[in-house]
Amino acid sequence: MSLMAADELHEAWAKLDHLERQERYLVERLSDIRKAIKAQKLKISDLGPPTINRLPTELLSQIFTFCIPDPKFPEKPLHRIVGVSHRWRNIVWNNPSFWTSIKVTPIQGEKGLKMQLKRSRNALLDIWIEDWDDCRALYDSYGKLHAFLDAIVPHANRWRSLIISDSMEPEFVESILPKINHLSAPFLREFSIDMLDDLDHLPCPDFLSPTRAPALEHLTLRPAFQLDSFMALPTLKMLHLTFSHADNHLPVISMLTPAQSLTSLVLDGNSTGWSLRRNDLHCPLLEKLTLYVDKPVPFLEAIVAPKLRYVRCWILDLVEFDTIEGKFRDVHDLSLIFSSIEDQGTEPLCRAFPGVRRVHVSARNASFLTAGIHGSGVLERRPPMDQWLNLETVTFNDFDCEWLERWGLGEDPIVKWLRGRQESGLSRLCVRLLIREDEDKLSVYYALLERHCDLEIFTRLT
């Protein structure tokens, strides 16, 4: 090999060595760059939008729905949500489900109401008409109410519920009915008028018919309307009817018979003169029955309800219950409202509902428990309530310090009754006191009760 060729070969090896060093450097540099890129991406991810903002719009909408505890009052939680970001605000504004709770009140603005109806698009609406009880500017209020009604009436085809609350003057209710009486509401599930004043000079609303409201499930008519032509809809699951003193000789059986899907029934008012026959009203799905009527027993005689588990009853005459002895063996919950009560005569009531497990009674009616207890605390015979061998819980409503002032500590009927049960070997009960306010001097009484029962205290919200 010539000298020149040797020099070229040496130079080529040197260049190759240089290139290989560059390659190793570049490979190491590329690895470092890739690590730096990965770290930077993680940093950007950590500093970027919260994970919740990466969620799809549909999922965010569902999460916002869970932030609204009461669908009737979505305003405050929605106000907080729309203040977070433009995206959240746009989600709320463009989702019709957040605009379906329509409140028709004097403080509502007509422009705001129409905007809400527009944003709700084709979604079903829940409408509350309330707080129209100020007659100081009656003419102006009528005009405003009618303007609001004119805005919502065209949307009757998507009403889901229409609630007219108790904070309404009768004059306003009377002005509402002509506006809605001719309507058809194919998706209406609930209609309620709940107020204390009677409207028994008005006929029952015409649109409460199978052709006008074919999907109606919940119906409350309180006040009393003229019910002589009323017929319960077959779709009803919950019904509350109020009867006036003029509603004599109503065919209540035929009136209620179509509602074979009823699970809850409340009858309120005057029942004198009702046309009832024994075991003539079959309610195969009824679970809850409330009777605020002056003569509950004839109705109890008439009804056949194999699934009935809860009865709330206003009682004037205890002796009448002799006629239904043992009829309601599967009623587990009994709530009793006495107009007056004596020590004698409670046994027929107990025998009518032999399977009771839970009973609610006012503390003022504790003699219902203690019939047969003498002033000394000695039991001449067990109180009728102890015939309920499956009894688990007794709730005393309206309990207050006046109770102790009347009877004295440890001498009241409740303690005597519970002590007697314990001495007789009967099962230990859960006793619940619904009190008006928790006062310190009641603590000693609570401790005394706890010797004979499992005590639970609840403060009534006023």
248-288: per-residue pLDDT in tens? 678 888 899 999 999 999 999 888 878 888 999 999 999 99
* CA–CA distance, 168 with 65 (Å, rounded to integer): 30
* CA–CA distance, 110 with 143 (Å, rounded to integer): 12
385-442: per-residue pLDDT in tens? 888 989 999 998 887 777 677 766 767 788 888 888 888 888 899 999 888 766 667 7
Average pLDDT of the residues in 446-451: 89
Q: Is the pLDDT of residue 69 over 70?
A: yes
Average pLDDT of the residues in 3-17: 76
167-214: per-residue pLDDT in tens? 777 788 888 888 898 999 999 999 999 887 777 677 788 888 899 999
| pLDDT at residue 32 in the model | 85
| pLDDT at residue 266 in the model | 96
Pairing of strands 125-129, 393-399: unpaired
Average pLDDT of the residues in 318-326: 83
| pLDDT at residue 377 in the model | 45
Average pLDDT of the residues in 7-21: 80
SS (H, E, C) the chain: CCHHHHHHHHHHHHHHHHHHHHHHHHHHHHHHHHHHHHHHHHHHHHHCCCHHHHCCHHHHHHHHHHCCCCCCCCHHHHHHHHCCCHHHHHHHHCCHHHHCEEEECCCCCHHHHHHHHHHCCCCCEEEEECCECCCCCHHHHHHHHHHHHHHHHHHHHHEEEEEECCCECHHHHHHHHHHHCCCCCCCCCEEEEECCCCCCCCECCCCCCCCCCCCCCEEEEECCCECCCCCCCCCCCEEEEEECCCCCCCCHHHHHCCCCCCCEEEEEECCCCCCCCCCCEECCCCCEEEEEECCHHHHHHHEECCCCCEEEEEECCCHHHHHHCCCCCCCCEEEEEECCCCCCCCHHHHHHCCCCCEEEEEHHHCHHHHCCECCCCCECCCCHHHHCCCCCEEEEEEECCHHHHHHCCCCCHHHHHHHHHHHCCCCCCEEEEEECCCCCCHHHHHHHHCCCCEEEEEECCC
* CA–CA distance, 176 with 142 (Å, rounded to integer): 10
Q: Is the pLDDT of residue 329 over 90?
A: yes
| pLDDT at residue 331 in the model | 96
Query: What's the pLDDT band for 378 if we cut at 50, 70, 90?
Result: very low
For the chain, the average pLDDT equals 84
* CA–CA distance, 62 with 43 (Å, rounded to integer): 30
Question: 216 near 235, Cβ under 8 Å?
Answer: yes
202-249: per-residue pLDDT in tens? 778 888 889 999 999 999 998 778 888 889 999 999 999 988 876 667
* CA–CA distance, 310 with 359 (Å, rounded to integer): 10
79-101: per-residue pLDDT in tens? 898 888 888 899 999 999 999 99
331-369: per-residue pLDDT in tens? 999 998 887 655 556 788 888 999 999 999 887 777 666
Q: Is the pLDDT of residue 381 over 90?
A: no
Q: How many residues does the chain have?
A: 462
List all residues 6 or more positions away from 99 whose beta carbon is below 8 Å from its beta carbon: 116, 117, 119, 120, 123
pTM of the shown model: 0.82
* CA–CA distance, 49 with 61 (Å, rounded to integer): 18
141-166: per-residue pLDDT in tens? 778 888 899 999 999 999 999 999 87
* CA–CA distance, 257 with 49 (Å, rounded to integer): 60
100-140: per-residue pLDDT in tens? 999 998 888 889 899 999 999 999 999 999 887 665 555 56
